[in-house]
Amino acid sequence: MTDEPMDVGASSARDEVRITAALTRRPAHAPDHEAEARTFGALARDLAADPRTALQRIADAAMRLCRADAAAVGIIESDGDGVQFRWHAAAGDFVPALMETTSVEGTPAGVALRSGVVELFERTDHAVDTRIGSPPHVHESLIAPWRIEGRAAGTLCVFAQHIDRQFDAEDARLLTGLADFASAAWQTVSALDTHVRVAAESSSERTVLRRQLSLAEEEERRRLARELHDEVGQHLAALGLGLQALSDVAPPGSDVDRRAAQLRGLTDTLGRELHALAVRLRPRALDDFGLEAALQSYAEEWARHSGIAVDLHARGPSTRLPPSAESAVYRIVQEALTNVARHSGAARAGVVLERRDGYIHLVVEDDGRGFDPERVAMPDADRSRRLGLVGMRERAALVGGTMDIESAPGKGTSVFVRFPVAGETTPRVRSVAADRSEQRADV
């Protein structure tokens, strides 16, 4: 703390009613150390348990300990318009406009903030400043200011409404102690608010960043898939045609003819692998025909490779979803079915995609051996290598949704994903297989 001059509450006509000197002249009442210790102990506990109500409890305690008719806590705020004053808590008959700001210039609170020490005011009715909501018919007000890092920060005030209640030096001592407490409470609440704000900002920044990364990843996959298909695919096709031309001129059954035929076979295999790789990176069906066609195509391919039968059902409107939502569903199904193939030992799997009540509901289930999701979620040395379930959950979160897993050893596994999507409410059942004749998935 420093003693630099305060920049608030210039002295004014209100000084006429400042009677602080009376505090030393009046006989002080005897201190009640027991009540004081009890009150401060309770305040310390309140501050630890619930800092946000501490200022109110301090106002209540000030009224009680100083035997006042009312009490209030005011806090200084600096903003673009200069220094303002705001009541944060009040007790007794005094009902100030809590949380409204006002200038303290020339008010008793301003005078106390400027002097930096407890001040006593005798307030006649004409001196009552309604702008800062003083209680009616105030006879005396005792005001203890506090500072934070050398700057005026707030005041704790007690008010007496009857002429026979006069504040003395003992009241001033108690009020000063309580004002220190209010300062600590206010600093705690401010630090908490800052912490909450910073945490909220950084979490929303992280979400935006992850969303951008996810979009960038899809874009990069799309570019790679296009390049593989258009560039490398074209070269392979040209190579195949060249080899065919070579066969055409080579004597049938010759060495050159046989080698050319072998190389053509290799080129075909490479072409198919390239195609499959491009589809895995970014199925064209997802861009060209939409989610259901892309899922159907993927499920068929998956069933062929894994040897596990899969049913795919889509319910609800078949209009296109936003690209980020389509990518999320596609990648989640891809990862969930990869897990079924790798871990479940299932005979059957099912995928249900439903648009209902403004939500996408996705279920991927299998009748395999199941697992304990809680154990898998527990931190262990292995966990950093398992990215599938974590990635699925993140993709769901990026589109504002959630993912739940129901699974138990021997009971199969169901993965539920739900996220909001603007638009539709009427459900209708449709078999994707039936639609496929209209919508060939060209992947």
Ligand X SMILES: Nc1ncnc2c1ncn2[C@@H]1O[C@H](COP(=O)(O)OP(=O)(O)OP(=O)(O)O)[C@@H](O)[C@H]1O
**Pattern 381-420, binding to Mg ion, x per CB under 5 A?**
-------x--------------------------------
Residue 169: which of ligand X, Mg ion, none does it interact with, CB under 5 to 8 A by kind?
none
Q: Check residue 344 for interaction with ligand X (CB under 6 A).
A: yes
- CA–CA distance, 59 with 39 (Å, rounded to integer): 12
Q: Which is nearer to ligand X, 210 or 369 (CB)?
A: 369
Q: Which is nearer to Mg ion, 134 or 339 (CB)?
A: 339
Q: Rounded to the nearest whole angstrom, what is the least distance from the CB of residue 196 to Mg ion in the complex?
A: 36
Q: Name the residue with the smallest CB distance to ligand X.
A: 388
- CA–CA distance, 6 with 104 (Å, rounded to integer): 13
Residue 200: which of Mg ion, ligand X, none does it interact with, CB under 5 to 8 A by kind?
none
- CA–CA distance, 301 with 297 (Å, rounded to integer): 6
- CA–CA distance, 427 with 344 (Å, rounded to integer): 31
Q: Rounded to the nearest whole angstrom, what is the least distance from the CB of residue 384 to ligand X in the complex?
A: 10
The CA radius of gyration of the chain, in Å to the nearest whole number, is 38
Residue 376: which of Mg ion, ligand X, none does it interact with, CB under 5 to 8 A by kind?
ligand X
Q: Which is nearer to Mg ion, 339 or 344 (CB)?
A: 339
Contact between residue 316 and residue 362 where contact means Cβ atoms under 8 Å apart: no
Angle at 276 between CA 241 and CA 345, to 5 degrees: 145
Contact between residue 329 and residue 391 where contact means Cβ atoms under 8 Å apart: no
Beta-carbon neighbour count of residue 68 at 10 Å? 25
Contact between residue 104 and residue 132 where contact means Cβ atoms under 8 Å apart: yes
**Pattern 321-360, binding to Mg ion, x per CB under 5 A?**
------------------x---------------------
Q: Rounded to the nearest whole angstrom, what is the least distance from the CB of residue 284 to ligand X in the complex?
A: 25
Stretch that binds ligand X, among 94-102, 173-181, 210-218, 380-388 (CB under 6 A): 380-388
Q: Which is nearer to ligand X, 267 or 413 (CB)?
A: 413
Question: Which CA distances in Å does 81 have to 8, 27, 101, 103, 154?
Answer: 13, 43, 11, 10, 18
Stretch that binds ligand X, among 94-102, 110-118, 299-307, 383-391 (CB under 6 A): 383-391
Interface with ligand X: number of residues (CB under 6 A): 16
Q: Check residue 366 for interaction with ligand X (CB under 6 A).
A: yes
Contacts of 319 (CB under 8 A, 6+ apart): 423, 424
89 φ, ψ (degrees, to nearest 5): -155, 150
**Residue in the structure block whose two tokens are 């999320």:** 328
Q: Which is nearer to Mg ion, 107 or 339 (CB)?
A: 339
Residue 270: which of Mg ion, ligand X, none does it interact with, CB under 5 to 8 A by kind?
none
Q: Check residue 343 for interaction with ligand X (CB under 6 A).
A: yes
Q: Rounded to the nearest whole angstrom, what is the least distance from the CB of residue 201 to ligand X in the complex?
A: 30
Residue 340: which of ligand X, Mg ion, none does it interact with, CB under 5 to 8 A by kind?
ligand X
16 φ, ψ (degrees, to nearest 5): -55, -35
Q: Which is nearer to ligand X, 59 or 295 (CB)?
A: 295
Residue 297: which of ligand X, Mg ion, none does it interact with, CB under 5 to 8 A by kind?
none
Q: Rounded to the nearest whole angstrom, what is the least distance from the CB of residue 390 to ligand X in the complex?
A: 6
Q: Rounded to the nearest whole angstrom, what is the least distance from the CB of residue 60 to Mg ion in the complex?
A: 58
Among 68, 340, 360, 441, binds ligand X (CB under 6 A): 340
| Residues 385 to 404 in contact with ligand X, rule: CB under 6 A | 386-389
Cα dihedral 14, 15, 19, 23 sign: positive
- CA–CA distance, 89 with 269 (Å, rounded to integer): 79
Q: Rounded to the nearest whole angstrom, what is the least distance from the CB of residue 388 to Mg ion in the complex?
A: 3
Q: Check residue 317 for interaction with ligand X (CB under 6 A).
A: no
Q: Rounded to the nearest whole angstrom, what is the least distance from the CB of residue 340 to ligand X in the complex?
A: 5
Among 148, 184, 352, 376, binds ligand X (CB under 6 A): 376
Q: Check residue 413 for interaction with ligand X (CB under 6 A).
A: yes
Q: Which is nearer to ligand X, 123 or 395 (CB)?
A: 395
Residues at the site binding ligand X, with contacts judged by CB under 6 A: 339-340, 342-344, 366, 368-371, 376, 386-389, 413
Residues at the site binding Mg ion, with contacts judged by CB under 5 A: 339, 388
